[in-house]
Chains A and B, each alone.
Chain A
Amino acid sequence: MRDTSVLQRLLLQDKPGKILLGCLCGLVVLVPIFNLLVPADSFFHVPTYVVTLLGKYLCFAILALALDLIWGYCGILSLGQGAFFALGGYAMGMYLMRQIGDRGVYGNANLPDFMVFLNWQELPWYWTGFDHFGFAVLMAVLVPGVLAFVFGWLAFRSRVTGVYLSIITQALTYALMLAFFRNDMGFGGNNGLTDFKEILGCDLQSSTTRVVLFVVTVITLALSYFLCKYITISKLGRVLVSIRDAESRTRFMGYRVEHYKLLVFVISAVLAGIAGALYVPQIGIINPSEFNPLNSIEIVIWVAIGGRGTLYGAVLGALLVNYGKTYFTGGIFAEFWLFILGALFIVTTIYLPRGVVGVADNWLALRRQKRLLLAAAPVEQV
């Protein structure tokens, strides 16, 4: 059993993982067909805006995975995941901004509109390189990663844990939000970056581009899931759980807790950054409100509702809550959404500590027990 290959270990013993993978495969095949090949007036046609919406949910699912890895497994409740997400998003947004070229309102080929508006004469140094897609992607990974590394190195080394860490990460997010709201930071102030035209030469408004972006998102989600899954089933995963349960005991076993925390924290930040980079071209805007501490806490509730420490629960939770959000904020219940969200926070923490997945598990276990009892009953009678 312990000699199985990596792929076997990843998939064979992970039924929910297989279901998830199945669903993702289905999406990759079906969505492009129903959007691009089925005619627009057909009943089966999937409109492009739905593709984009699905893509957005899946970006959030990646984000939820990233949080579940550190919170569910390692007990680090980071309220800064939203910031890493936004940083990734800004990196991609800067690339998209450069792609606008002279098609902006001011028609300035060298400067984005907001800089012209601010009377800037030349591009700030930190914008160099963002004309290249590869560089932007690299930054979307590196910037959150390096920030997480520096912050994590400081925090974990001095053993800031628990709620202290949560509060400090929240303060970090808040400070970043304040910073990005400033016009002279050179990131577009409170309007952020928007009015994107194309990515890698493809029109961002066209259905084909949207579908391609969607497919890329699905694949990234699948890969992220496997990465997280691999980490959690490795011995490192067990060290993480051990840190979560009894941090100082883990130290006395000789594990350098801060290194482990740092590794997963950085991985998680990078995943969040990638999710942000995928999110921006699909949504078409990135602004400082993405740094709002509320967003970061919302991610926590996705994971809590889905079921922390299960990975697939995080994905499920992100999809459920965000679908709910779209459903409610669009309709007459718009005013009630925050009530619902607030109630979700309260109810899940008190009554559903293991989330929807936990409820389903309990229910399945109960049914299995009943079946066993039923199977045993006739024997007793005989």
Chain B
Amino acid sequence: MNISLRLLSVLLCVCVATLCRADEFADLVVKLNGDSFSEKTEAVGGLHRLDDKRVLPVLKAMQDGNLFVVAEAGQIVIGKESGEGYEVQSVLDNSPLGVRTKSQLEKIKINNGLRRELRSLVAGLELSAKDPDIRRQSAINLIKNPDESLRESVESALGGEKNQAIKSLLHVALASIDINSTDTVKRKAAVAILADAVQPEAVAMLEKVAAKDPSGHYLEADTELASTAEAALIRIQTQLGIYKFIENCFFGISLGSVLLLAAIGLAITFGVMGVINMAHGEMIMLGAYTTFAIQQLFPQWLEMSIIIAIPAAFLVSGAVGVLIERTIIRHLYGRPLETLLATFGVSLVLQQAVRSFRANNVAVITPEWMSGMWQINGALSFTFNRMYIILFSLAVLALLAFLLRKTYMGLQMRAVTQNRAMANSMGIRSGWVDALTFGLGSGIAGIAGVALSQITNVGPNMGQQYIIDSFMVVVFGGVGNLMGTFFAALSLGVVNKFLEPFAGAVLGKIIVLVFIILFIQWRPRGLFALKGRFVED
């Protein structure tokens, strides 16, 4: 009895305390819209002392000029510009309150003193935030805009920071403040720290210190410092060069794996069956639209949508592929040029069909777990979606190679494509094998569409952009050879990326196309040509 009473009283106390605090937050927020700037400053200081995770967004919004009072209700909200008006959000519980026009909102004004105050408070809060991403972002911001007045916050944050990566960022932030100080010792230390950093901003600061006038003398009075900076710069430049190279390779490989995904399906229909499927690009498009449709139909499963879309897109594009094979291509075996024309017709029809749904250029949402990146250091980071695409395309390739080489179905496919009559007489139903092979190629194109939807907009023409490139990959790698397709796709991707910086994207592409056109003259059957008699007829 006694105990329970005590418990009750304790509970009560806690409730009251939180209530009080909640009230305090609300009260202080209202005071942010006080009549004088001193009242506002006081409220800001009060908020800062609260241990409440709602404080940071409010102060940040205030600093950025995104804190508003709703005209008639007097309610204080955070606004985000959208279209004509602002999308607003309650400061108390972050609940969305819809869109308001400019005239319905009144901005909470701040003056320079308050702005300075806010900046240091916000920085302090951010640097001590629990979420490492916020801390990291804040450190990066500090490096970009070094601010003498924030030095203390940075120093204290450095003391408490456990995360090594963020710690080194903070060091750089500190150095970027110190480098502008008058104290030679501090500056020397700063240069030493910057010399180990690879952030572009750090490089810029070093460059400033090491700058020379036209006659070759340092602009910097402290020549010793300047020459250390210069030496450090040389070292950093080579380091940056290496990172740039790695990054180019990564981008190239990721571009290559997109090409690979787009081309694998083609390698089957063209390479294994000898069918030129000009509608291949539209199979990719169907896959991308399937992803979009799934996100529209099941918004609650957004995070899983991509995973669901992979089999779904395979089935949709595969089914369309089987349909095309049974109704059209079946009549055209042994007439490759005619197949090219007929499937081109199919591609026109599919494109126009999608266009009539008026779903041009829709954007597919990237799920949380696929966005973000793996930050290695200031100059090098790999985005997750590209890494997933690389892994995914390799997995698809491996699966396919297994299917073709090691399964009975693969054996049948190869048998039919190499000698139809013989396979028929051995009891293989070549019609179905053809349909399934074509369906497989198309289905893989659909999967490629799922991957592509993560990096570009989805539209009726998206297939067209990839079809010529995919053909180039297959032709370059050698028809009928998955290994060749793999190497061709990756090398074309990488070459394209390396050409881009000094030739531009378009010219780079032209160069690659011309290169392949010339390459075909040298090796008409591609890098990894199939050998044997039948290829000659």
Chain A residues engaging chain B, CB cutoff 8 angstroms: 77, 151, 154-155, 157-160, 162-164, 166-168, 170-172, 174-175, 178-179, 181-182, 248, 293, 297, 300-301, 304, 335, 338-339, 341-346, 348-350, 353
Chain B residues, CB < 8 A from A170: 468, 471
**B interface list, Cβ under 8 A from A:** 276, 328, 331-332, 336-342, 344-349, 351-353, 356, 468, 471-472, 475, 506-507, 509-510, 513-514, 516-518, 520-522, 524, 536
Asked, given contacts A160-B521, A345-B342, A346-B328, whether A171 binds B471 with beta carbons under 8 Å apart, the answer is yes
Q: Report yes or no: B468 in contact with A349, Cβ–Cβ below 8 A.
A: no
A–B complex contacts, Cβ < 8 Å, 19 sampled:
A154-B518, A155-B520, A158-B520, A159-B524, A160-B521, A164-B524, A171-B516, A175-B510, A179-B510, A301-B341, A335-B352, A342-B345, A342-B352, A343-B345, A344-B345, A345-B342, A346-B342, A346-B345, A348-B341
Q: How far is the CB of A266 from chain B (nearest CB, A)?
A: 17
Q: Select from chain A the residue with minimum beta-carbon distance to B274.
A: A163
Q: Is the CB of A346 within 8 A of B521?
A: no
Chain B min CB distance to A140 (Å): 23
Nearest chain A CB to B381's CB is how many angstroms away?
30
Query: Roughly how many angstroms separate A169 CA and B382 CA in the complex, as a whole number?
Result: 37
Given A168-B475, A171-B517: A338 touches B341 (CB 8 Å cut-off): no
Residue in A closest to B348 when the chains form the complex, CB atoms:
A342
Closest chain B CB from A180 CB (angstroms): 10
> CB-CB < 8 A to B353: which residues of A?
339
Which chain A residues border B341 with CB–CB below 8 Å? 297, 300-301, 304, 345, 348-349
CB distance A155 to B276 under 8 Å?
no
Whether the Cβ atoms of A338 and B521 lie closer than 8 Å is no
Q: CB < 8 Å: which of A167, A297, A343 contacts B475?
A: A167
Which residues on B sit within 8 Å (CB–CB) of A157? Answer: 521
Q: How far is the CA of A343 from the CA of B345 in the complex (A)?
A: 6
B356–A335 touching, CB < 8 Å: yes
Q: Which of these, A77, A167, A342, contacts B471 with CB under 8 Å?
A: A167
Query: How close is A71's CB to chain B, nearest CB, in angstroms?
Result: 8
Knowing A166-B340, A167-B475, the reply to whether A160 touches B510 (Cβ < 8 A) is: no
Residues from chain A with Cβ under 8 Å of B337 in the complex: 77, 162-163, 166
Contact A345 B345 (CB under 8 A): yes
B328 to chain A, nearest CB (A): 6
Contact A160 B340 (CB under 8 A): no
Chain A contacts of B475 at CB under 8 A?
Answer: 164, 167-168
How distant is the Cα of A215 from the Cα of B294 in the complex, in angstroms? Answer: 58
User: Which of B344, B509, B510 has its CB near the most chain A CB atoms (within 10 A)?
Assistant: B344
**Interface of chain B, main secondary structure:** helix
Residues of B contacting A166 with CB < 8 Å? 276, 337, 340
Q: How far is the CA of A151 from the CA of B524 in the complex (A)?
A: 14
- B352, A339: Cβ atoms under 8 Å? yes
Q: In the complex, are the beta carbons of B510 and A338 less than 8 A apart?
A: no
The 8 A-B pairs with the shortest beta carbon distances in the complex, nearest first, are A345-B345, A342-B348, A342-B349, A338-B352, A175-B513, A342-B345, A346-B345, A349-B342
Q: Which of A160, A162, A167, A248 is most buried by chain B, counting CB atoms within 10 A of its CB?
A: A167
Shortest Cβ distance from A166 into B: residue: B340
Query: B276, B332, B510: which contacts A350 (Cβ < 8 A)?
Result: B332
Closest-CB distance, A110 to chain B (whole angstroms): 27
Contact B468 A345 (CB under 8 A): no
Query: Provided the pairs A154-B518, A160-B524, A349-B332 are in contact, do residues A178 and B506 lie with their beta carbons within 8 angstroms?
Result: yes
- Given A163-B337, A168-B520, A175-B514, answer yes or no on A338-B342 (Cβ-Cβ < 8 Å): no
Residue pair A178, B510 in contact (C-beta under 8 Å): yes
Known: A77-B337, A301-B341, A350-B332. A345 touches B348 (CB 8 A): yes
Residues of A within 8 A of B338 (CB): 349, 353
Nearest-CB residue, chain A, relative to B516: A171
Q: Which of A163, A167, A182, A339 contacts B349 (CB 8 A)?
A: A339
B510/A158 in contact, CB under 8 A: no
Measured in the bound complex, the distance between the Cα atoms of B468 and A297 in whole Å is: 13
Structural contact, B345 and A160, CB atoms closer than 8 A: no
The interface residues of chain B lying within 8 Å CB-to-CB of A151 are: 517
Determine the distance from Cα of A171 to Cα of B514 in the docked complex, in whole angstroms: 8
The CA of A344 and the CA of B345, in the complex, are separated in Å by 7
A350 in contact with B513 (CB, 8 Å): no
Task: State A29–B183 Cα separation when bound (angstroms).
Answer: 96
What residues of B have a CB within 8 angstroms of the CB of A154 in the complex?
Answer: 517-518, 521
With A155-B521, A339-B352 given, name 13 new contacts (CB 8 A): A159-B524, A162-B336, A162-B337, A164-B520, A166-B276, A168-B517, A171-B517, A178-B506, A179-B510, A342-B344, A344-B345, A345-B345, A350-B331
Pick the contact of A338 from B348, B516, B522 — CB < 8 Å?
Answer: B348
Chain B contacts of A339 at CB under 8 A? Answer: 348-349, 352-353
CB contacts (< 8 Å) of B345 on chain A: these are 341-346, 349
Residue ID in chain A nearest B270 by CB atoms:
A163
Q: Which residue of A lies closest to B338 (CB)?
A: A349
User: Once bound together, how far apart are the Cα atoms of A344 and B468, in whole Å?
Assistant: 23
Residue of chain B at shortest CB distance from A347 = B345
Q: Which B residues are in CB contact (< 8 Å) with A175?
A: 509-510, 513-514, 517
Instruction: Give Cα A168–Cα B338 distance, bound, in whole angstroms.
Output: 17
CA distance in complex: A227, B390 (Å): 55
